[in-house]
Structure 1
Amino acid sequence: MDAKDVTEVAAHCSAFLDGVVEADWAAVVPGLGWSAAGTVAHVCDCLLWYSTDLAAGPVELRSVEVGVRADSPPADLVRTLEAAASVLASVVATVPEGARGWHPWGVADAAGFAAMACDEMLVHTHDAGRGLGVAFEPPAEYAAKVLARLFPEAPTDRDPVETLLWANGRVPLGELPVRTDWRWHGAPPGS
């Protein structure tokens, strides 16, 4: 995955979220325990962390604090998502070929960070929509790309959107129960 994927997924998620800014973003996402606003703020935090981690290289950088305020107006959170995705896309596009960044589950290359960012945006926009009582359908094209990159163990003969939600512990997938251990078990992205 690449910078273009990050910006396109961000645009899709932002368009959905922008359409529901008048809803009650204090509403709690069922099964997650975060508000819709807190969920979107978390996504923004992740994108900013991924930008910093990839730019800083393969050793954990502990001197930076990232924190998007969940009590911000919803329209500001949508703009923050767009801005954070733009920052990450810029880093993904400009790091030297073969560059790797630190992540708690292992160092990843630029394509791995792009995939993790797309996963965060797609799944958590779906979560925020559930909290707001409005369905968000992640684009199948991007769900399939994220699955191929981050979840190679996931079934490939199913709907990619349902499979992405299953891979992230959100829904059962046919006879497969809801995943309770959704931590990625493959090699670190880009290894």
Structure 2
Amino acid sequence: MITPDDLDTAVTCVVDALRPTVDQDWSAPAGSLDWSCRTTAEHIAQAHLHWATQLAVAAQTKYVRWSATAQELAPPAGVLDFLEAAGRILALVVRATPSSVRAYHPWGIGDPEGFTAMACVESLLHGHDLTSTLGNPLDPSADLCARILARAFPHEPQPTEDPWLNLRWLTGRTEIPNTPTPTSWKWRPTPLNETWTPAPEAAPMPFTPLPLPTSG
């Protein structure tokens, strides 16, 4: 089981690893991503806030259309505050949301636990991207990583006894000798005892500008 306390733990793990790096250049790419460290940190916060919104209104068919970013001139320390605040907000919303609530995600209709597990994935994997560049290693607990895999990725293989290694391997962030790296992956927002029908393609993220209507 994944709980709001686990999300608080994941966010704390990331924030504690990144706090000593706020005087570095956050315009550099985060790990193997095309995004800068700043953009990656903002993305974590955006995901958490949007999932809090999905649960708050039990959105059924699409993302609630709004966007949030750190202030344009905010230094890395301010962006990190944004990341932490967003994670804490989602944890508070999950605590206040009945387990019976279901909400839309492009990869399946999720329950509060499913959104919490996804948020832990976002925090730890993008936290790893950030620390790979900024140089202060991320070291989440094996127990938390094992439970994240069990809830969000029960359909995926676990080739080693190291759940943090398995999580990074599954999402293309490291290699395991003699074990082909998956070419794609999806997490499962839907409860394990319910039918999971993942959408074939992810819908546009809510902070992606909508196209202007064409004149007829």
Q: Using structure 2 for the length normalisation, give the TM-score.
A: 0.80
Quick check: 1:172 aligned with 2:157? no
Q: Distance in 1 between matches of 2:182 and 2:63?
A: 31
Q: What pairs up with 1:139-178 in 2 under 5 angstroms?
A: 139-152=141-154, 153-155=156-158, 157-178=160-181
The percentage of aligned residue pairs carrying the same residue is: 35
Distance 1:75 1:189, change over 3 A: farther
Distance 1:119 1:189, change over 3 A: farther
Is the contact made by 1:38 and 1:70 (CA closer than 8 Å) also made in structure 2?
Answer: no
Q: Distance in 1 between matches of 2:3 and 2:168?
A: 21
Q: Distance in 2 between matches of 1:155 and 1:42?
A: 27
Q: What pairs up with 1:1-191 in 2 under 5 angstroms?
A: 1-69=2-70, 71=72, 72-152=74-154, 153-155=156-158, 157-184=160-187, 188-190=190-192, 191=194
Deviation track 1:152-185 (CA, whole Å, cap 9, x = no partner) reads 123164211110101212112332222221223x
Comparing 27-36 with 116-125, greater Cα deviation is found at 27-36
RMSD: 2.0
Report how many residues are paired: 190
Distance 1:84 1:187, change over 3 A: closer
Is the contact made by 1:44 and 1:80 (CA closer than 8 Å) also made in structure 2?
Answer: yes
Q: Distance in 2 between matches of 1:177 and 1:69?
A: 38
Deviation track 1:117-175 (CA, whole Å, cap 9, x = no partner) reads 00000000000111224432333222111111111123164211110101212112332
Q: Secondary structure at the match of 1:19?
A: helix
Greater share of helix: 1
Residue segments in structure 1 that go unaligned for 5+ positions in a row: none
Is the contact made by 1:48 and 1:87 (CA closer than 8 Å) also made in structure 2?
Answer: yes
Q: Distance in 2 between matches of 1:37 and 1:56?
A: 29
